[in-house]
Chain A
């Protein structure tokens, strides 16, 4: 795989930050966009713009076709059964809220249990918390071990006849843990419990096959998959989308509207009310093409090599502590440096052009579990290379120098 070619497809990566070459290691937060995605956005607004699914003029027909083309390609990208199982949302957070809200309305009663894990991002906890507030549901947290792996036996033990749904991340945005989702779905299936998978971190970095996972719901954040902001995806098995109530009401999601009754549109429109982020959906097609042009296996191999390279180098630096040591780890490396707060690390490496994140990464439960208030996090994208890691490690050395660490 020619990594220089990949880097050159991202205009922002040739920019300078604080007079230094930009080393972007914040892809878990949001990924940069290849030129094809940017051109598609521009082209759609310049030459093809129209709203979709309503008017029947030429522009509208073309826009609708392009919009639906992305849906088909998303379906293929994650190996869903039908394009009707692909719902476009504002973001992955909305995808999870959609499920929590509609599933909760239909299935959650006082005392019912929702099982999540200590690894979850706030967006896979807060929506379920609403069900705790509204219906009196109970939220249980499957524990992790110190390595950052979910303790599967303990997760099993937490399943009771009251467990109504399990919601788990596919890949931790703090420890980089790749969660054995398939195994957990198998456990859940035996008890007939549906599983929602938060795929925000996994979609850009590992092969997603919802048919193989057999999960009921899968949430994706498009801006993390080298796509535009303002766009998320919810995959759901058709049986759920057909039986759950609609979520946001408005134009586009209805079939017939009378003064005394309203019927809803068939899938997928039932869940796509109002004008959608049309240009973003159209441009997201280019993100999928970008991913497929490299190939999942190549992406995994490249990022794994780079992760191992980074971990080895970082471990050699005195006082650097890597957070978590999961069995399967992706390119998400959270760390602390004894004697330097993560915010100070972030400010100092930024001066060297290195973009990382510091804080609790929207995972306060996990940080509490690990007895940390904050960590610094370097996260790898397909465009990163060994030189980026070298510059990053030199920047860490600079932190140590500024703080006069030995």
Chain B
């Protein structure tokens, strides 16, 4: 195991200066994530527009460098994406963390792939996987919670 793989510069940098931190205005979805083992908390705010595009994605919370960096990187990757692409990104990330899959294209640029892969060091630290996935699970929960509502509205129309 190599600490440098876990704590890559990009992780440390995002950990110290997370992007999209705070509560965005007029969010349409939100969810809270909590890791009872360590007390890490994340609150995700998602703003989906009528075209089901992620107009904004921000978060509040506290946690270790891995969890903050992972959340920050997630917001960067997902912001501006369509919901279906967002789900693919989430899947790509989860598969990468669980080592079940290579990163597929999923409309990601090389830079975006690199960002996801910066978290791959976590694979070597099973006790830290939850730190990295907390925000992603929370985002799924935010999407699902309101997606049902959105689906209902579509059915009604």
A residues sitting closer than 8 Å to B (CB atoms) are 18, 339-344, 347-348, 351, 358-360, 364, 367, 373-374, 402-404
Contact = CB atoms under 8 A, between A and B. Distances in A.
A367 B62 CA distance: 14
A344 B122 CA distance: 12
Contacts of A404: 12
Contacts, number: 52
Contact of B39 (A339, A348, A359): A359
B38 interface: yes
Given A351-B3, A359-B39, A402-B3, A373 B64 contact: no
Nearest to B9: A404
Main SS class of interface, A: mixed
B128 A343 contact: yes
**Which 3 A-B pairs rank lowest in CB-CB distance, beginning with the nearest?**
A341-B64, A373-B39, A343-B64
A340 B68 CA distance: 12
B33 to A, nearest CB: 14
Given A359-B37, A360-B38, A373-B39, A347 B128 contact: yes
B17 to A, nearest CB: 12
24 contacts: A341-B64, A342-B64, A343-B38, A343-B40, A343-B63, A343-B64, A343-B66, A343-B131, A344-B7, A344-B66, A347-B6, A347-B127, A351-B3, A358-B38, A359-B37, A360-B38, A360-B39, A367-B39, A373-B38, A373-B39, A373-B41, A373-B62, A403-B7, A403-B12
B65 interface: yes
Interface residues of B, number: 21
Interface string B100-119: 00000000000000000000
Nearest to B4: A402
Interface of B: 1, 3, 6-7, 12, 16, 37-41, 62-67, 125, 127-128, 131
Contacts of B131: 343
A18 B66 CA distance: 21
* Most A C-beta atoms less than 10 A away, residue of B12, B40, B62, B65: B65
Contacts of B63: 341, 343
A322 to B, nearest CB: 19
Nearest to A372: B39
Contacts of B128: 343, 347
Contacts of A18: 1
Contacts of B127: 347
* Most B C-beta atoms less than 10 A away, residue of A347, A364, A373: A347
Contacts of B6: 347
A404 to B, nearest CB: 7
A328 to B, nearest CB: 28
Contacts of A341: 63-65, 67
B65 A364 contact: no
B35 to A, nearest CB: 10
Contacts of B38: 342-343, 358-360, 373-374
A174 to B, nearest CB: 13
B129 to A, nearest CB: 12
A16 to B, nearest CB: 14
A26 to B, nearest CB: 14
B7 to A, nearest CB: 5
A202 B7 CA distance: 38
Nearest to B130: A343
A378 B16 CA distance: 25
Contacts of A351: 1, 3
A397 to B, nearest CB: 14
Contacts of B41: 373
